[in-house]
Amino acid sequence: MREFDTTFIVQPEISEEGREALILRLRGVLERAGATPLEVDDMGKKKLAYEIKRFQKGHYLSLFYLDSGKAVAELERALRLDESILRFLTVRKEDQVDDVDARRARSVELEKSRKEKAAERAAREAEERAQREAARAAGESVEEPSDDDDLEEEDVYDRDRDRDRDRDRDRRRRDDDDEGDDRSPAGE
């Protein structure tokens, strides 16, 4: 058996319940194809390197599983058909997993620690939210948490400038190529 990792990006507005339903459906696809699902790593919402289907952010998930390689095509087909999936990538993590039971046990431990960390993070965010609400109720000015992924004005300017420069360069090349095609060979 080989270990595979399929990482995929889900549209950012898909709810927690929607993501859970998607994961259950993908696990079902794997089980029907004879694979052994191991764990799911929810990496959270992140800014994309470039816009995909008009989205600048996406929710990253990784699905780890054991298979001989046949389930990969079925899983990727399911991902391709799902409109909420922006991108996906499957990589082979290990060529040969000898002790499947040990790998499953390790996955259970990782899954448990991830859930504990997520619960701690949720509790911390709820506490911070409650503190902000209490400060608002007391009439104090409250600073909302900033979104670190927002682009600075200068970064937007640089990105637009680079895009315009590349577009103009491509137009000049295309115009130069068109002029070269219109010329007839010498002597005709």
Highest-pLDDT range among 9-13, 122-126, 134-138: 9-13
Instruction: Quick: pLDDT tens for 65-110.
Output: 999 888 999 999 999 999 999 999 999 988 887 887 888 888 888 8
Q: Between 131 and 153, whose confidence is greater?
A: 131
Q: Using an 8 Å Cβ cutoff, are 44 and 60 in contact? A: yes
d(CA 171, CA 44): 39
d(CA 147, CA 144): 9
Instruction: Quick: pLDDT tens for 147-188.
Output: 544 445 555 556 667 777 777 777 788 787 777 655 555 544
- 64 contacts: CB under 8 Å, gap ≥ 6: 3, 4, 5, 37, 38, 39, 40, 41, 93, 107
Phi and psi for 30 in degrees, rounded to 5? -65, -45
Q: What is the pLDDT of residue 170?
A: 78
Q: What is the pLDDT of residue 46?
A: 93
- 144 contacts: CB under 8 Å, gap ≥ 6: 132
Q: What is the DSSP letter of 2?
A: E
Q: Tokens 């637009």 — which residue?
A: 160
167 alpha carbon, distance to own chain's centre: 28
